[in-house]
Structure formats: C-alpha cells, structure tokens
Amino acid sequence: MAVTTARTQQISIRLPHEAIAYLDTHGNRSAFIAKLIRRAQRAEQARQEADEMLAAGDDGDIGIDPDWLARNAARTLQGLD
C-alpha cells in the first residue's frame, strides 16, 4: 500500500494515498494532518509525564494504576505510528 508520511519533530504519521486523495476531495488535508500531529504530541507529552511521575515514585496520588497508564500510553502511541 502506498503511503504519505508527514513528519514534524519526532512524530511520523503514515497515511495511505487513498486517504490523502479522499481528504483532497472532501476535506482539508493540511488541517487533518495537523490535528493528527497535535494528538500525537499530546500523547507523547502524557507518556513523558507518566514516566516522570513513575520515576519520582508518585504513582498513587491520582488513583491510576501505573501499569495501566503505561500500557495505554504505549497503545496510544502505537496507534499513531
């Protein structure tokens, strides 16, 4: 499958050419890619904050299991690759 990759900083998003063609016809490709990049940046920031919290031993104050948080952050980032 042919893909187009948009890259900013350390974030890479691969979209099939069919998706690009659809966005060119029915939507705003630049706005869509910018939205995906913002989501990826927020997910990365959340992952980094979780890592910092765990490193500082601050894993119980907010009532979220750190293993659950790490699994879901990793799952979110995998979905954006």
pLDDT one-digit tens code per residue, 25-51? 887 878 888 888 888 888 888 888 888
Cα separations in angstroms, 55 against 17, 43, 59: 41, 18, 9
Q: 52 or 12: whose pLDDT is higher? A: 52
Cα–Cα distance between 52 and 47 in angstroms, integer? 9
* Euclidean distance between CA atoms 47 and 10, whole angstroms: 14
Report which DSSP code applies to 15.
E
Quote the pTM value. 0.47
Rounded Cα distance between 28 and 51, Å, is 35
* Contact (Cβ atoms closer than 8 angstroms) between residue 29 and residue 20: yes
